[in-house]
């Protein structure tokens, strides 16, 4: 399923690295082949060359083993893959659906209200997963291992990964209750 990423800060870069196998998994790991198909990246701070550099040289995770580059300012080159790149300031500025993105990962931390996120849907995204809390009943806050059974694909188009604090504490609270 083609995925777009809006925001290439810490969370966006880690999502992209994970999608490309940034973490080696043994061949016997049942999740060895689980990867996302990243179709497009949008980032307003820096151009494609800056994004490629920050992906390759991570201050915490070290240098990534892939080859990096850019094709002008329209694409990132990672290994043998070409990923579209843009620098639009709003979710509605990117034609997500036309670029093949069914899901968009909102990783900017800036767009946290349904009316701000509507641009993704207006431009063709079928689902949006926000990497920060969305404090609105329109968004399902999903905590893996705690309430992920509540996700109904036909009903939930706007999801959030809640907050890092919630993700740390909720599994502990659930297991102790």
Q: Which residues participate in catalysis according to the annotation?
A: 164
Residue 67, C-beta contacts closer than 8 angstroms, at least 6 positions apart: 77, 78, 79
In Å, how far are 142, 146, 161 from 168, measured between CA atoms?
13, 11, 12
87 φ, ψ to 5°?
A: -135, 55
Q: CA 164 to CA 177: how far, in whole Å?
A: 21
Q: Is 51 helix (H, G, I), strand (E, B) or coil?
A: helix
Residue 21, C-beta contacts closer than 8 angstroms, at least 6 positions apart: 35
């Amino acid at each position: 399923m083609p995925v777009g990423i809006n925001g290439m800060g810490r969370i966006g870069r880690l999502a992209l690295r994970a999608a490309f196998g940034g973490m080696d998994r043994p061949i016997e790991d049942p999740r060895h082949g689980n990867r996302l198909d990243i179709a497009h990246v949008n980032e307003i701070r820096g151009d494609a060359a800056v994004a490629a550099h920050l992906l390759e040289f991570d201050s915490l995770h070290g240098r990534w083993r892939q080859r990096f580059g850019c094709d002008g300012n329209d694409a990132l080159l990672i290994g043998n893959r070409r990923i579209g790149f843009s620098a639009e300031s709003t979710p509605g500025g990117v034609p997500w659906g036309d670029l093949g993105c069914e899901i968009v990962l909102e990783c900017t931390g800036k767009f946290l209200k349904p009316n701000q996120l509507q641009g993704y849907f207006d431009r063709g995204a079928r689902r949006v997963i926000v990497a920060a809390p969305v404090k609105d009943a329109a968004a399902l806050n999903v905590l893996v291992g705690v309430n992920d059974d509540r996700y109904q694909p036909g009903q939930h188009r706007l999801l959030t990964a809640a907050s890092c604090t919630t993700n740390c504490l909720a599994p502990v609270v659930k297991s102790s209750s």
